[in-house]
Amino acid sequence: MSVEALFNPGSIALVGATDKSGWSISTLLNLRMYGFAGPVHLVNPRGGTVHGAPAHRSLAEVPAPVDLAYVMVPTAAVLGVLREGAKLGIRCYVILTAGFGEAGVEGARLESEISAFAAENDLTILGPNGNGYINAAAGITPYGLPIPQPLLRGSVGVVLQSGARRQAGAAGGQADRGAEDRPQQARLPHGAGPHRRAGRR
């Protein structure tokens, strides 16, 4: 699967979306604020209303194709999401959830299972334990922390492991209003700082 497809989805599903999660709230707000043009589907096993919109109980209930699944479920449920998504033809994933290789032997085992499943099914995965990415050039921002305004577009891509460094870099880059060329910022994680993730609850 092409990395280009990961960074340029036409539709996104937020799996594990909930009004109780700041990660979920920030991710949806970022997509809306910075102009993502495609549909954003909310998935919560209880269904109902999430972030003021109807939520589907599973990826299988989403009535349209999904290009990218942004996964915010508990650690033990992540592989199940990937299995369901792969059956539906979803090939690209961002995994916010923590509790994998950084959490000890059991977490490392779960991460190995995810890696093996991804390889067997031609999945492209960003994560686990990562905030997501910012494709400023295309206005695609599935990212779990607030993004400083304005989001400036340009021809430079930035790849960072540290969430703190990305936040600082974004703030600094936006403040530098005198530069002729503005940076495109993309974060590729593993290990994104001390923030709590779905898997640590």
pLDDT number for residue 163: 53
* Alpha carbon distance 134, 147 (integer Å): 9
Q: What pLDDT, on the 0 to 100 scale, is given for residue 185?
A: 34
> For the segment 146-200, what is each residue's pLDDT rounded down to a tens digit?
999 899 888 888 877 755 544 544 544 443 433 333 233 333 333 333 333 555 4
The span from the CA of 99 to the CA of 10, in Å, is: 29
User: Do residues 197 and 99 lie in contact, with contact meaning Cβ atoms separated by under 8 Å?
Assistant: yes
Query: pLDDT tens digits, residue range 61-95?
Result: 999 999 999 999 999 999 999 999 999 999 999 99
Burial class (CB in 10 A: 0-12, 13-18, 19+), 95: buried
Q: What are phi and psi of 61, to 5 degrees?
A: -85, -10
Read off the tokens for 64.
């349209």
The whole-model pTM stands at 0.82
Mean pLDDT to the nearest integer, 41-65:
97
CA-to-CA dists, residue 110 to 73, 93, 113, 126, angstroms: 14, 16, 5, 16
